[in-house]
Amino acid sequence: MSRILAGLTIVLSAALPAAAVTQGVVDAVVNGSSVGATVSLPGGFGADVTLSFENVTGLNLTSLGVSAQLINPTDPALLARLPAGSVPLAFPVLLRIEPPAAGGLSFRGITSLDVHTHNLQYIAGCPLRIYSAHAGEPFKDITASMGAGSYRVRGTEGGFSDFLIVADTRPVDQVIQAKLGALDEELNEYAGSLPGPLYNDLSARLAAVRDDIALAATAAAVQEIDGFLAVVQQHSGTDIPDVWRAARDVENVAGYLRAGAMTLRFSLGLKSGLGL
pLDDT tens, position by position, 155-205: 999 999 899 999 999 999 999 999 999 999 999 999 999 999 999 999 999
Average pLDDT over residues 53-61: 96
Average pLDDT over residues 219-244: 97
> Do 25 and 119 belong to one domain?
yes
Domain count within the chain: 2
What pLDDT does 23 receive?
Answer: 85
Asked if the model's pLDDT at residue 218 lies above 50, the reply is: yes
Asked if the model's pLDDT at residue 18 lies above 60, the reply is: no
Per the prediction, the chain carries an average pLDDT of 91
What are the strands, taking DSSP E only, across the chain?
Answer: 25-31, 34-41, 45-57, 66-70, 93-97, 106-117, 128-133, 140-141, 143-147, 151-157, 162-167, 243-245
Q: How far is CA 131 from the centre of its chain?
A: 7
Which among 167, 182, 212 is the end of a domain? 167
> Do 136 and 179 belong to one domain?
no
> Do 108 and 19 belong to one domain?
yes
> Do 163 and 51 belong to one domain?
yes
Q: Decide which of 135 and 151 is more confident.
A: 151
Q: Which domain holds residue 79?
A: 3-167
Q: What is the C-alpha to C-alpha distance for residues 26 and 148, in angstroms, rounded to an integer?
A: 24
